[in-house]
Amino acid sequence: MQETMISLSKTKPGRGMELVHKPIPTIEDHEILIQVKAASICGTDVHIYTWDAWAANRIKLLPHTMGHELAGVVVKVGSRVKRIKLGDHVSCETHIICNECEFCRTGQGHICVNTQVLGVDRDGAFAEYIAVPADNAWVNDKSVPFEYTSIQEPLGNAVHTVLSGPVVGKSVAIVGVGPIGMLAVDVAKAAGARVVYAIDINDYRLDLARSIGADATIHSLKEDVVQRVLELTNGLGVDVVCEMSGNAKALNQSLEFVKLGGRVSILGVPTKSVEIDVAKHIVFKGIQIHGITGRRMYDTWYQVKGLIESGKLHLKELVTHVLPYTEYEEAFSLMESGQCGKIVLMFNQGEKMSVHDLKFLEDQLDELKQQGVYRKLPIVETPNDAEIILNGRKVINLSSNNYLGFANHPRLKAAAIKAIEDYGVGAGAVKTIVGNMSIHEELEDVLAKFKKEEAVLVFQSGYNCNAGVIQAITQAGDLIVSDELNHASIIDGVRLSRADKAVFKHSDMQDLERVLKEKRDKYKQVLIITDGVFSMDGDLAKLPEIVALAEEYNCLTYVDDAHGSGVLGENGRGTVDHFKLHGRIDFTIGTLSKAFGVVGGYVAGRKVMKEWLSHRARPLLFSTNLPPAVTGALIEAVKLLTDSDEATKAVWRNGNYFKAKMKEAGFEIGHSETPITPVFFKDEALTVSFSKHLLEEGVYVSPIVYPTVPKGRARVRVMVTAMHTSEQLDKAVAAFVKVRSLLIK
């Protein structure tokens, strides 16, 4: 008896589809059988799902398995197949060509006259298995998740459209930023377009286009598109138009605002004939028009591979919804609403689907293990100190941000106990509901005095602080300019904002000024964001130069001083104090979990800032306040720093001592300007192995590898604290030397 599988099939004319059992396909000698892991939804699938006039005329046989954008694992291989192997992770070229017609034989298979389309002319990919010719399979890197490799086919459409002519250094307009148009925005930016403009009628997708780098967005129902494009291009028009909408009016507008001698590449398919002025818009303008169908086989696929491997694409942002295939109705509803990017359906590879067994997470964990990046967190059995008991053994701790030793300080512990006795163990509710405890008010007051600022507002964590502040102080019509090496919490905070975004090269003041020159006049407010101390390399932001540029170009400044708070400046007042820039930085962010030894975050600045954020910072509005014990301990930490600089001096003394010893021993330690000491090995596997061997020698220091840092820049990052003794640091250096002799010949 033939085995069966679950398939999402069109069983009858009309709206919708059904989950049905069908036989698992058999394969011919030139084919492969793919166990489908992920399949994304495209516009063609929506046509078939809604059974519009196109689908009614095009789909000849029912029942019919839909879908053609897929990724999966090869489980059977035909006898004549040589290139594809069992276990390969593959995606598929949708168009199955004849390899016999003139076009196939002259390298133009994408316009083969005998093309069959998966999910249209033959059963498709919305099933647990699919059989395809081996020639149509594209082998993927196993490190790339299936939900991303499943969108390579539509990504290929975008690549074919954008790269059907030169784009480097050119202005590009993407007309219609549905899922493929959105991919085209990303491709144009990654391929080196000077500016990219996104044009659509959907606010959600215009916002998404901005978040992945569109330089400007135009709502075609609210603005005069032609006039707006000409304004943006000094009346010349754009070099390249990618028409993705299939809308007759949009096509004619594209022909109007394309530059003389420009290019219009058309992927969108109008539902009826379109009248255009050939003489005015084509002949006399001397433009090129490219009709785009499918992907060039396989030139486009190699281009897609290169773009994915470059890391320049925003696949995580563009795949906005990943759902189990049983939730297909919700998925198609989202597609019709337009409130989405790419939607991916996940399949359970031939096993009975259970949403609750979380098999999809098991699969993703297996991927991590295959990549060698899976980890089990070690267990610390003692207070965080210079030496700790880790997984049952005593080791020198060089992985902690507890710079000053406050995490186990007796005065902080006593203050925490007293706070519990006075206020209890919890704050009770969100402070906008239950109110702010007096102990929270006291913490904000002592922090403001310590930071020499008008006001401080405390958050539940430094991450929450960036997530809450950035989106609350910026809005649509503003611009955020961010250092490319800013912390992940800044990146996520920026993504939550409706403002446009730009990135400048790390600590490159010429590049920052370039961005400001190009963009400042186009926006109401411009916010420059930088880390104060960059935690991977230990270097300082060029704050004086940044402030000077901000003042010259009338911009706001925002400094995340997570690793500067408690370490730099007078008594650890931070990077702003270190550079004597009080009153010239608009927003200073800090954590209370590193040098301060507990947990939390804060923003320091003007009183009006605090008042506004109290009304608009979402983590404060929707999450309970810090526990009293935490708050009491933090007040004591601020008092300790205010009263003495002993701990701050100790961390610098130890940091300088360790660096000198490591440099003397011949290790590459970069150009850190703080106690943070990176020790570079560059090779990923060597770095991980070095860390493991150090642990065997009684030294605990974590490896930092890709994607936290770029490939080829792997290092172990040593965090020296005020608690360490010179004897402990000498032992650590000796361990480094011993492990080097074992691993590096």
Active site residue ranges = 535, 563, 594
- Number of residues assigned to the chain: 745
State the DSSP string of 341-362: SEEEEE--TTSPP-GGG-HHHH
CA distances from 211 to 234, 284, 313, 733 (A): 25, 37, 12, 45
* CA proximity to 567, closest of 462, 637, 651, 676: 651
Q: Nearest 5°: phi and psi at 351?
A: -95, 160
Q: Nearest 5°: phi and psi at 200?
A: -165, 180
Left (φ > 0), alpha (ψ -120 to 50) or beta: where does 663 sit?
A: alpha
- Rounded Cα distance between 645 and 569, Å, is 10
Six-digit token string for 596: 């301060």
3-class secondary structure, 675: coil
- What element of type H or E holds 530? strand 526-531
**Helix 646-664, helix 628-643: angle, nearest 10:** 80
3-class secondary structure, 578: helix
State the DSSP string of 394-420: EEEE-S---TTSGGG-HHHHHHHHHHH
Six-digit token string for 150: 């499943």
* CA proximity to 294, closest of 426, 152, 197, 123: 152
As a whole number of Å, the CA-based R_g of the chain is 29
Number of separate helices (H) and strands (E) present in the chain: 28, 31
The sign one gets for the Cα dihedral 523, 525, 528, 529 is: negative
- What element of type H or E holds 531? strand 526-531
- Rounded Cα distance between 236 and 228, Å, is 12
- What residue ranges in 373-510 does DSSP mark as E strands? 387-390, 393-397, 455-459, 479-483, 500-504
* CA proximity to 495, closest of 522, 474, 519: 474
DSSP state of 280: I
The sign one gets for the Cα dihedral 596, 382, 627, 473 is: positive
